[in-house]
Amino acid sequence: MLALLTLPLALALAGYAFTVWKARAIERQFPNIGERIDVGGVSLNSVLVPAGMNADLPPLVFIHGASGNLRDQMHAFRDKLNGRAAMLFLDRPGHGYSDRGGPENGWPDGQARAIARLMEKRGLDRAIIVGHSFGGAIAASFALEHPEKTAGLLFLAPATHPWPGGIDWYYDVAKMPVIGWLFTRIVALPAGLLRIGRGTRFVFAPNPRPDDYVAATAPALVLRPDAFRNNAADVANLLEYVRRIQPRYRQIRAPTVVVTGDADGVVYEEIHSRGLARDIAGSELVWIRNLGHKPDYVVTDLAVEALEKIAGKVRDLQESARRAEARLARDHEE
């Protein structure tokens, strides 16, 4: 009987010790590459890439999705847009190397307000707001809360509307007061490390994941206990939030493009992307066959064209989408 009681305790202590050690190792492997700035009692981490002398686009603010950090969008867009615009890549509150702040930052509108304050600190008056996945809900909230700061909106495979069903079980467990604390400090990190490869390939599917993606974008940062719990709370709060906020999307007047694929295994593109195109007057939906959840990586050039169109340049995004589909079809055949 004593052995039966001792074994679970020993396993729990081993999991806790491993989590403490590995979380520090992850931070050594992926140190902070940004600057932490106080935005009113909470410090947000960000990288500001200045515009070049011949910049032809307004400032751009990139908001990453669930389980992410600023490296994700920066790896996709920085080189493609270098010099053309001031670019602000940020860790959302409680992610990467940003503080969580108060309970309001567990909701998209609270995070949008924190991002607006960060823009002010960074000297950006107005910007095109780019939101991927969960970041789409924050981008929509930003446009509602801060229309004067919103030069336009680019949604990439967004999560913005009420959907049927729920969320993965581990989000509900991780956000619980006591059990969640234990779960994130004993189980989540070692289990998460085993799933990073498979999980990131799933996010890209049916498109291939870039070989350097895991090393370049540091998804392991979300496995640290506090980050994991913050991410879980964000995801757990989203459905209730979009039920409340979605009717207000009709108030958005900013130029808007929504880029999505019909093979997204993470969010319901028929609900979210078509919903945004319906709700935001004058928005353009760019629907791409055989594209998964990562248009920021798989059709980056098209996303850049969308930014150009939002900024007032003449671009045929539907024709670009057909070219992207042809390329994806060729890639699939190979």
Distances (CA, A) of 184 to 92, 175, 228, 250: 19, 9, 7, 39
List, for residues 179-224, the tens digit of each pLDDT value.
Answer: 999 999 999 999 999 999 999 999 999 999 999 999 999 999 999 9
> Environment class of residue 146 by beta-carbon count within 10 Å: exposed (0-12), middle (13-18) or buried (19+)?
middle
pLDDT value, residue 4: 53
pTM of the model: 0.96
pLDDT value, residue 334: 64
Place 10 in a pLDDT band, splitting at 50, 70 and 90: confident
What are the structure tokens assigned to 82, written together? Answer: 């270098």
Segment 295-315 mean pLDDT: 98
The helix/strand/coil state of 128 is strand
List, for residues 117-144, the tens digit of each pLDDT value.
Answer: 999 999 999 999 999 999 999 999 999 9
pLDDT reading at 287 higher than 80: yes
- Region of poorest pLDDT, from 8-17, 38-47, 107-116, 264-273: 8-17
Segment 79-84 mean pLDDT: 98
What are the structure tokens assigned to 147, written together? Answer: 């229309």
pLDDT reading at 310 higher than 90: yes
Strand order from edge to edge, sheet including 43-49: 35-38, 43-49, 87-90, 60-63, 127-132, 150-156, 256-261, 284-288
Q: How far apart are CA 186 and CA 239, in angstroms?
A: 28
pLDDT reading at 8 higher than 90: no
